[in-house]
Amino acid sequence: MTDRLVSHLRYAALAVPNFEEERQFFVRHWGLTEVHAEDGLSYLAAEGSAEPFILRLRADEKRVDLAGFGVRSRADIHALADKLHAEDVQFVHEPQELTGFGGGYGFRVFDGDGRVLEFSTGYEQRESRKIREREPIPAKLSHMVFNSSDLNRSAQWYVDHLEFTISDSLVRPDGGDMMHFMRCNPNHHSIAIATGPHHSLHHLSFEMRGIEEWMRGSGKILRSGARMIWGPGRHNAGDNTFAYFLSPAGNTIEYTTELAVVDEENWQANRHDISHLSTQDQWGTAAEMSELVARESFNDIDKGLFVAPPV
């Protein structure tokens, strides 16, 4: 499918109680650039991305504020809004001029679990640059992953209302679904949804220039004192590398690279058995997935469900 109204993942917006510590971590260590700041609000860009920002941090109790998606035109914004209205999706606000940093035109809705999604077009773009060889900073936001206590219902909402496609799934040995990787363009996944004890953020993933930059970046974060909870390794689904760390706020964040780009006309979704070690890590360099590792990514219960953020 190549005619989806949603074109790509733009940014993630999180609220954190330790705002200044989190902000400093992402600028000093993770490699993002603060491009705009207000009282208790920080907009962080990736040098390799034309998006005005890829991460927004806000000072408040811990929650996911929203996930921001791009749409190609105002006509598509209205077509998507009309579609979602007809399907009785709950709106946060109607299509309008956006007054936040970067501007644009768009609207917000709640997904089936109560997460806020923003769809926008016509926003200001920044001048990006090529990431230099061996430069250990993110090039862009790769994907955003949520936990759900009802995996298939959560994933089906994105299929039914936003025309996302499941690229691959992780399954238990008995065939039960554990995780769905979902795309809105040829990138293997822009979001994924994992089975968890509650609705929450699983992780945010940031794309590096290549393997060398990914490894150097991972070493840099280890030297910052942040804890690597899983990695380094290479997943089967998506074929991307992974190195997962905990941010100061306790959110799981990932450096990755070489995420698969699929031929949408011919791609067949696979169901990968998690009991096979190569499903989680093709290389065998990462520790075997365990309850201890998984528990870190269950995260705290998201307090932002069906509550619109103030900005």
Give the pLDDT confidence of 111-139 residue by residue, as tens digits.
999 999 999 999 999 999 999 999 999 99
Quickly count: other Cβ atoms within 10 Å of residue 174's Cβ. 7
How many Å apart are CA 283 and CA 17, to the nearest integer?
Answer: 37
| Average pLDDT over every residue of 67-82 | 98
Residue 180 and residue 74 in one domain: no
- Strands 191-195 and 140-148, sheet pairing: parallel
- What is the distance, to the nearest Å, from the Cα of residue 284 to the centroid of all Cα atoms in its chain? 25
Which residue type occupies 218? S
Which pair of tokens denotes residue 125? Answer: 């773009």
Burial of 225 from C-beta contacts in 10 A (0-12 / 13-18 / 19+)? exposed
Q: Is the pTM of this model over 0.85?
A: yes
Distant-in-sequence, close-in-space partners of 229: CB < 8 Å, separation ≥ 6: 244, 245, 246, 252, 293, 296, 297
71, 88, 121 - which closes a domain: 121
Residue 211 and residue 106 in one domain: no
Weakest mean pLDDT among 40-49, 148-157, 292-301: 292-301
pLDDT, greater one: 294 or 101: 101
CATH of the domain at 81: 3.10.180.10
Residue 284 Rama label (left phi>0; alpha psi -120 to 50; beta): left
Provide the domain count of the chain.
2
Q: Is pLDDT of 31 > 60?
A: yes
Q: Is residue 210 part of a domain?
A: yes
Residue 64 and residue 159 in one domain: no
Query: 200 lies in which domain range?
Result: 140-298
pLDDT band, very low/low/confident/very high, at 261 (cuts 50, 70, 90): very high
Residue 147 and residue 227 in one domain: yes
68, 92, 121 - which closes a domain: 121
Helices (runs of H) and strands (runs of E) counted in the chain: 6, 17
| Average pLDDT over every residue of 27-44 | 98
Encode pLDDT of 160-182 as tens digits. 999 999 999 999 999 999 999 99
Q: Is pLDDT of 294 > 80?
A: no
Which residue type occupies 304? G
The percent of residues in the chain predicted with pLDDT above 70, rounded, is: 99
Q: b/e per residue, 4-39, with b = 16+ CB within 10 A?
A: bbbbbbbbbbbbbeebeebbebbeebbbbbbeeeee
pLDDT at 2: 59
Residue 117 and residue 212 in one domain: no
pLDDT at 293: 72
pLDDT at 288: 80
pLDDT band, very low/low/confident/very high, at 1 (cuts 50, 70, 90): very low
